[in-house]
Structure 1
Amino acid sequence: MPIAIKMPALSPTMEEGTLARWLVKVGDKVSSGDIMAEIETDKATMEFEAVDEGVIASIAVDEGTEGVKVGTVIATLAEEGEDLDEAKAAATPDPVRAEPVGSEAGAQAQPPPATSAAPEEESRPSTSSGRTEKGTAPAPSGDRVIASPLAKRIAADKGIDLSTVTGSGPNGRIVKADVESAAPTSVRPEPVEGRAAPAPAPVAAQDFGIPHEVEKLSGMRKTIARRLTESKQQIPHIYLTVDVRLDALLKLRAEINDALASQGVKVSVNDMLIKALAKSLLAVPSCNVQFAGDTLLKFSRADISVAVSIEGGLITPIVVDAGSKPISAIATEMKDLAARAREGKLQPQEYQGGTASLSNMGMYGIKQFDAVINPPQAMILAIGAGEKRPHVIDGALSVATIMSATGSFDHRAIDGADGAALMKAFKELCEKPLGLVA
Structure 2
Amino acid sequence: MATLLRVPEVATGSTEAVLTEWLVPENVAFEAGAAIAVLETDKAAVEVEAEIGAMVLRRLVDGGSTVEVGAPIAVLGAAGEDVSSLLAELRGAEASAGAGEPATNSSGGPAEPSPARIFASPLARKLLKEAGIPLDAVAGTGPNGRIVRKDVEAAIAQVDKPATTIPEPGAKAVVADAAFEEIPHSRVRTVIASRLTASKQAIPHFYVRRTARIDDLLTLRKQLNAVSPAKISVNDLVIRAVAVAHGTVPDANVIWTDDAMRRYRTVDIGVAIASARGLVTPVLRNVASLSLSAISAQVKGFARQADEGRLPQKDLEGGTITVSNLGMYGVDEFAAIINPPQAAILAVGAGKPAPAVVNGQLTVATQLTLVFSVDHRAIDGALAAQWMAALVTALEEPLRLVA
Q: Deviations over 1:144-198 (max 9, x none)?
A: xx7554442243456x9x9xx999999x99996xx99xxxxxxxxxxxxxxxxxx
Aligned to 1:382: 347
- Report the alpha carbon displacement of residue 322 of structure 1 after superposing the two structures with TM: 1.0
Distance of aligned partners of 1:25 and 1:323 in 2 relative to their CA distance in 1, 3 Å threshold: closer
Q: Quick one: distance in 2 between partners of 1:46 and 1:88?
A: 27
Q: Deviations over 1:354-375 (max 9, x none)?
A: 1211000100111100000011
* Alignment partner of 1:258 is 2:257: no
Aligned to 2:90: 91
Amino acid at match of 1:389: A
Amino acid at match of 1:394: N
- Report the alpha carbon displacement of residue 29 of structure 1 after superposing the two structures with TM: 4.1
Q: Quick one: distance in 2 between partners of 1:59 and 1:152?
A: 27
Q: Quick one: distance in 1 between partners of 2:136 and 2:83?
A: 36
- Report the alpha carbon displacement of residue 90 of structure 1 after superposing the two structures with TM: 4.3
- Report the alpha carbon displacement of residue 24 of structure 1 after superposing the two structures with TM: 4.0
Distance of aligned partners of 1:157 and 1:225 in 2 relative to their CA distance in 1, 3 Å threshold: farther
Aligned to 1:7: 7
- Report the alpha carbon displacement of residue 64 of structure 1 after superposing the two structures with TM: 1.6
Q: Quick one: distance in 1 between partners of 2:58 and 2:376?
A: 53
Shifted more, 350-359 versus 271-280: the winner is: 350-359
Q: Deviations over 1:75-112 (max 9, x none)?
A: 1124344224455334344649xxxxxxxxxxx98986
**Aligned residue runs from structure 1 range 110-129, under 5 A:** none
Distance of aligned partners of 1:346 and 1:109 in 2 relative to their CA distance in 1, 3 Å threshold: same
- Report the alpha carbon displacement of residue 344 of structure 1 after superposing the two structures with TM: 2.1
Aligned to 1:73: 72
Amino acid at match of 2:38: E
* Alignment partner of 1:19 is 2:19: yes
Q: Quick one: distance in 2 between partners of 1:95 and 1:299?
A: 46
- Report the alpha carbon displacement of residue 304 of structure 1 after superposing the two structures with TM: 0.8
Aligned to 2:50: 50
TM-score under structure 1 normalisation? 0.73
**Aligned residue runs from structure 1 range 303-382, under 5 A:** 303-382=268-347
Amino acid at match of 2:129: A
Q: Percent identity?
A: 38
Greater Cα radius of gyration, structure 1 or 2: 2
**Structure number with higher helix proportion:** 2
Distance of aligned partners of 1:332 and 1:232 in 2 relative to their CA distance in 1, 3 Å threshold: same
Amino acid at match of 1:247: D
Which consecutive residues of structure 2, in runs of 5 or more, have no partner in the other structure? 96-114, 157-175
Q: Secondary structure at the match of 1:384?
A: strand
Aligned to 2:105: none
Q: Quick one: distance in 1 between partners of 2:127 and 2:322?
A: 33
Aligned to 1:280: 245
Aligned to 2:41: 41
Q: Is the 8 A contact 1:57 1:85 kept in 2?
A: no
Q: Deviations over 1:6-53 (max 9, x none)?
A: 002223443321111223454444443333222101111122223334
Q: Is the 8 A contact 1:58 1:88 kept in 2?
A: no
Q: Quick one: distance in 2 between partners of 1:157 and 1:213?
A: 21
1:270 paired residue among 235, 239, 247: 235
**Aligned residue runs from structure 1 range 136-155, under 5 A:** 147=121, 149-155=123-129
Q: Quick one: distance in 1 between partners of 2:93 and 2:63?
A: 17
Aligned to 1:222: 190
Q: Secondary structure at the match of 1:412?
A: coil
**Aligned residue runs from structure 1 range 158-173, under 5 A:** none
- Report the alpha carbon displacement of residue 423 of structure 1 after superposing the two structures with TM: 0.8
Q: Quick one: distance in 1 between partners of 2:232 and 2:262?
A: 32
Shifted more, 77-86 versus 267-276: the winner is: 77-86
Q: Secondary structure at the match of 2:232?
A: coil
Amino acid at match of 1:408: S
Q: How many residues align?
A: 357
Aligned to 1:185: none
Which consecutive residues of structure 1, in runs of 5 or more, have no partner in the other structure? 97-107, 113-145, 181-207
Q: Quick one: distance in 1 between partners of 2:386 and 2:116?
A: 66
Distance of aligned partners of 1:386 and 1:226 in 2 relative to their CA distance in 1, 3 Å threshold: same
Q: Is the 8 A contact 1:304 1:358 kept in 2?
A: yes
* Alignment partner of 1:233 is 2:201: yes
Aligned to 2:102: none
Q: Deviations over 1:186-231 (max 9, x none)?
A: xxxxxxxxxxxxxxxxxxxxxx944444433332222211111110
Q: Secondary structure at the match of 1:376?
A: coil
Distance of aligned partners of 1:385 and 1:156 in 2 relative to their CA distance in 1, 3 Å threshold: farther
Q: Is the 8 A contact 1:390 1:399 kept in 2?
A: yes
- Report the alpha carbon displacement of residue 390 of structure 1 after superposing the two structures with TM: 1.8
Q: Deviations over 1:388-408 (max 9, x none)?
A: 112222333221111100000
Q: Is the 8 A contact 1:57 1:88 kept in 2?
A: no
Distance of aligned partners of 1:30 and 1:94 in 2 relative to their CA distance in 1, 3 Å threshold: farther
Distance of aligned partners of 1:27 and 1:332 in 2 relative to their CA distance in 1, 3 Å threshold: closer
Q: Secondary structure at the match of 2:377?
A: coil
Q: Is the 8 A contact 2:277 2:307 kept in 1?
A: no
Q: Quick one: distance in 2 between partners of 1:311 and 1:420?
A: 36
Distance of aligned partners of 1:383 and 1:295 in 2 relative to their CA distance in 1, 3 Å threshold: same
* Alignment partner of 1:64 is 2:64: yes
Q: Quick one: distance in 2 between partners of 1:332 and 1:276?
A: 17
Q: Is the 8 A contact 1:282 1:300 kept in 2?
A: no
